[in-house]
Chain A
Amino acid sequence: MRKKKTPGQIVSELLKLIIALLLTIVCLYPFWHVIMYSFSDSKEAMSGGLFVLPKGFSLESWKMLLKTKQVFIAFGNSIAKTVVGTLISVVISILTAYPLSLPYVKGRKFLQGMIFFTMLFSGGTIPTYILLKDLHMLDTFWAYVIPSAMNVYNMFILRNFFQAIPDSLSESAMLDGANHVQILTRIVLPLSKAALATQVMFYGVNRWNSYMDGVLYVNDSKLQLLQVYLRQIINSIGGKQGIGASAGDLSGASAITEESIKMTVIAMSVIPVLIVYLSLQKYFVKGTMVGSVKG
């Protein structure tokens, strides 16, 4: 009975396949377009429209971006910021979310309210800048990781995942004499792989893409972030300002258009994210947690 599909099932499978492919095309194409544009000859790409393969294959815009030492310095800084920052953030989120997920913890509601409040109200740029100045964090690597050490939204998502883990597990461990740290590391975390993958993804992407901390808190070009570097490039050559300032000698010297650079910049910053997501995807498989929970 299981093997044989009814006509209705076949139709619904087919329908699903069509929808899935349509979704893929609609979501994949723009990204694909960006990548292909970045590998296209600026002049040929200008004639416009959408295209599936590069128009007049060319590596010029990639070469232009990758030629300078600064882009590698910035790339290294961004990697360091993302790795260190994500690590710190995930640890702090776990430590905060776990106690808040336990219904018997006293003061929990107040603490949650207090934390959530900061999601809605913030002091603004200038007071934060002054704080970092007083903490001597300006122009240091720590300005990238500490001021955004915990994201309230991510923490609450994690807390929610922890809450979904049946109490029976930790209760039995408690009876066996395990303390809270042991329960967290031996029972809760191993059961939360998907949740942790979510955290790594969210924090990682956030860290990787954020640039305002780089713009505001750091002047030293040895500490420059990739996103700041790329943003400055786009800002100085593209947009109303760049062209309005008559485009300068860049365009005089080379035929790479702002559009090409923009596409290359996007491709450059998305590809690392994509790699991380693909490697995390195996954790989003149904039923990973439940096997051990039975009982």
Chain B
Amino acid sequence: MAKVWKYLRRHWMLYAMLIPGLAYIIIFKYIPMYGLSIAFKDYEGIGDIANAQWVGWENFTKLFSKAAFIRSFKNTVIISFAKILFGFPAPIILALFIDSLRKKGLKKLVQTSVILPNFISWVVIYGLMYAILGPSSGVISEILTFFGFEGKIPDLLSSKEYFREVIVGSYIWKSAGIGTIVYLAALTGIDPQLYEAAAIDGAGPWRKTWHISLAGLRTTIIVMLIFRVGEMMHAGFDHIYAISNNAVISVADIIDTYIYRVGLEQGNFSLATAAGFIQSIIGLVMVLITNYVAKKVDPDSGIM
């Protein structure tokens, strides 16, 4: 008991600091959480959620009995996995590249330009994608025609074979830049003397990057990865909604776009909440696994 008292007397300020953040989390995040019960209820959006009738797992069985939901589930996993596999390393590589630039002006220019795509809405980006990739009047086809190419280039925007590549590619293009900010900030924390010491030992630029920069970014990378897998089941509603069409929807329809159709458009709150619940649970499992693996590899990392 005395020990606890001593600990508290020494560190009470730390706990006092936590009060606003925790109060916020409890009031604005945990109190509304009773809304999750909608997933297990028949709620039509009128009146008290508490009064709505419990239906058990009915909303979930209903979802999984729908072929379109299963399809969207599969697409979500595939698209998300590809986005993580190819998209997650992109900002790290980009940040290391920007970091390696010596000329200050050039560095600043690159550093600023890469974040810009993040601020342009998907609808406008799609317009530009069409202006570039469009098979009949796009920039690429015009260039090819100029060089004497005859015939039609494949329409990437309307073919099932390439559409997932289009999704992942455009995703990387839009988000990699903004993702560099955290890594660039983390790189500022690395002691420059480490690089000098390595140079004296005769390390080349690649070894310096690998042993010093990447090692210094390790914990940041892990935290970012954990957050990324947590939202794995959200594969980008705005993105898919803006760039997909009915010719490719069978490979692009994700849970969020599916729920938009059946949930919002038809006022089906219970189904939408149940789908959200599934997404959250899977996210939680993925986070716990990633966190566990991270801690096995490096006890100091992870978020919990």
Residues of A within 8 A of B (CB): 12-13, 16-17, 19-20, 23-24, 26-28, 30-31, 33-34, 48-50, 91-93, 95-96, 98-100, 102, 105-106, 109, 111-124, 126-128, 130-131, 146-147, 149-150, 153, 155-157, 160-161, 163-165, 179-181, 184, 194-195, 197-198, 201-202, 205, 209, 259, 262-263, 266, 269-270, 273-274, 277-278, 281, 283-290, 293-294
In the bound complex, do residue A289 and residue B29 qualify as a contact, i.e. CB atoms below 8 Å apart?
no
Chain B residues near A92: list those with CB within 8 A: 20-21, 24
Interface residues of B in 211-225 (CB under 8 A from A): 219-220, 223
Q: For the complex, give the distance between the alpha carbons of A172 and B110 in Å.
A: 40
- Inter-chain contact B121/A266, CB cutoff 8 Å: yes
- Partner among A50, A98, A286 whose Cβ is within 8 Å of the Cβ of B190: A286
| Cβ–Cβ < 8 Å partners of A195 in chain B | 185
Specify which chain A residues have a CB less than 8 angstroms from the CB of B139 in the assembled complex: 49-50
- B22 interface residue per 8 A CB criterion: yes
Does the CB pair A262–B124 fall under 8 Å?
A: yes
Residues of A within 8 A of B124 (CB): 30, 34, 262-263, 266
Contact pick for A131, options B7, B31, B185, B230, CB 8 Å: B31
Digit string of B170-213 for contact with A (CB within 8 Å is 1, else 0)?
00010001000110111111111100000000000100000000
Size of the B side of the interface (Cβ < 8 Å), in residues, is: 85
- Whether B189 pairs with A290 at a CB distance below 8 angstroms is yes
Q: Which of A30, A119, A128, A283 contacts B117 (CB 8 A)?
A: A30
Pick from B182, B191, B220, B300: contact of A293, CB under 8 Å = B191
Residues of B within 8 A of A269 (CB): 119
Question: Across the interface, which residues of A come within 8 angstroms of B13, CB to CB?
Answer: 179-181
Query: B236 to chain A: closest CB distance in Å?
Result: 16
Task: Return the chain A residue nearest B123 by Cβ.
Answer: A262
* Shortest beta-carbon distance from B148 to chain A in Å: 20
A239 to B121, CA, bound (A): 13
**Contact yes or no, A34 B18, CB < 8 A:** no
Contact A149 B191 (CB under 8 A): no
Establish whether residues A194 and B185, one from each chain, have CB atoms under 8 Å apart when the complex forms: yes
B103 to chain A, nearest CB (A): 8
* Residues of the A chain whose Cβ atoms lie less than 8 Å from the Cβ of B24: 92, 146, 149-150
At the interface with chain A, which of B71-79, B125-133, B250-258? B125-133
Interfacial chain A residues near B114, Cβ < 8 Å: 23, 27
Assess the A160–B137 pair: CB atoms within 8 A: no
B residues near A98, Cβ cutoff 8 Å: 14, 17
B185 touches A119 (CB 8 A): no
A-B contact count (CB 8 A): 242
Whether B15 contacts A99 by the Cβ 8 Å rule is: yes
CB-defined contacts of A116 to chain B, threshold 8 Å = 230, 287, 303-304
Residue of B nearest to A22 (CB): B110
From A102, A122, A123, A289, give the contact of B14 (CB < 8 A): A102
Cβ distance A293 to chain B, nearest Cβ, rounded Å: 7
Contact of A289 among B20, B35, B102, B189 (CB under 8 A): B189
Given contacts A98-B17, A160-B219, 9 further A-B contacts (CB under 8 A): A27-B113, A30-B116, A49-B131, A91-B20, A127-B32, A180-B11, A198-B181, A198-B185, A202-B181
Are A288 and B188 closer than 8 Å at their CB atoms? yes
Complex CA gap A184/B109 in Å reads 34
Whether the pair A95, B20 counts as a contact (CB closer than 8 A) is: yes
B101 in contact (CB, < 8 A): yes
Bitwise, B220-254 to A at CB < 8 A (1) or not (0) is 10010001001000000000000000000000000
Known: A30-B128, A120-B280, A126-B45. A270 touches B36 (CB 8 A): no
Q: Is the CB of A99 within 8 A of B120?
A: no
Pair A290/B190 contact, Cβ less than 8 Å: yes
Is B115's beta carbon under 8 Å from chain A?
A: yes
CA distance in complex: A122, B233 (Å): 15
Give the residues in chain A near B219, CB-CB below 8 Å: 160, 163-164
Distance, CA A91 to CA B24, complexed state (A): 13
- Please name all residues of chain B whose beta carbon is closer than 8 Å to the beta carbon of A180 when the two chains form the complex: 11, 13-14, 17
Residues in B neighbouring A121, C-beta threshold 8 A: 33, 36, 277, 280, 284
- Establish whether residues B112 and A277, one from each chain, have CB atoms under 8 Å apart when the complex forms: yes
B233 CB to nearest chain A CB (Å): 10
The minimal Cβ–Cβ distance linking B100 to chain A, given in whole angstroms, is 7
**Please, which residues of chain B bring their CB within 8 A of the CB of A289?**
188-189
Q: Does B85 contact A (CB under 8 A)?
A: no
CB proximity of A11 to chain B, nearest CB, Å: 13
Which residue of B has the minimal Cβ distance to A196?
Answer: B185
CA distance A120 to B277 in the complex (A): 9
* Minimum CB distance partner of A33 in chain B: B128
Instruction: Output the least CB separation between B60 and chain A (Å).
Output: 16
A197 nearest CB neighbor, chain B only: B185
- One digit per residue, 1 when the CB lies within 8 angstroms of any chain A CB and 0 when it does not, for chain B 20-45 equals 11101101111111111010000001
